[in-house]
Amino acid sequence: MAFFTTVALLWILSVAAAQNTLQNVALRGRSTQSTNFEGLSSSLNAIDGNLDPIYARGSCFSSKQEASPWWRVDLLQTYRISYISITNRGDCCADYINGAEILIGDSLANNGNNNPRFAKITAIPLGGTDTFESCTGMTGRYVNIILPGTTGYLTFCEVQIFGVPVTPHCNN
């Protein structure tokens, strides 16, 4: 009986440890965007680990003004996403992210913009960070942020994606 109690305790501790070890998997990803605004903007700025909300300091992303601008990160494998935090610009243009959608999935159809919606961003205050959670943990390799059906700029400074790898199961 003590053996089963020990095994159960070890299993509980390992589950608890795994839940506390969520990492920002975006840091290992590869990013791209529909367009890139001139100057210091780069899609990579949004996954550099730097939460600085001032565009002029080189840690923010901005698209050009266009129809349905988007940004995407390839996480290089499929993850079960628990939550995503986005830091908005702090120097201007806080409303450039209003109405954006966060999409997660494994498809690159339409540049990944056909994947299911994880969350809709109504507004993030100037320089603020907002967190979007999933009770069920959506899975996907690609995370997109898009302003669907809108002509404008898309801009933000950091995207942090917390999740765990999805491991394939063998059917032997």
In sign, the C-alpha dihedral spanning 26, 27, 29, 30 is: positive
- Residue 63: what residue type? S
Residue-wise pLDDT tens for the chain (172 aa)?
554 444 443 444 344 444 558 999 999 999 999 999 987 789 999 999 999 999 999 999 999 999 999 999 999 999 999 999 999 999 999 999 999 999 999 999 999 999 999 999 999 999 999 999 987 789 999 999 999 999 999 999 999 999 999 987 655 5
Q: Which two tokens stand for residue 15?
A: 């589950």
Q: For the domain 23-165, what is the CATH code?
A: 2.60.120.260
Nearest Cα residue to 129 out of 137, 119, 121? 121
| Distance of alpha carbon 132 from alpha carbon 111, whole angstroms | 22
- Residue 122: what residue type? T
Using left for φ > 0, alpha for ψ between -120 and 50, and beta otherwise, residue 135 falls in alpha
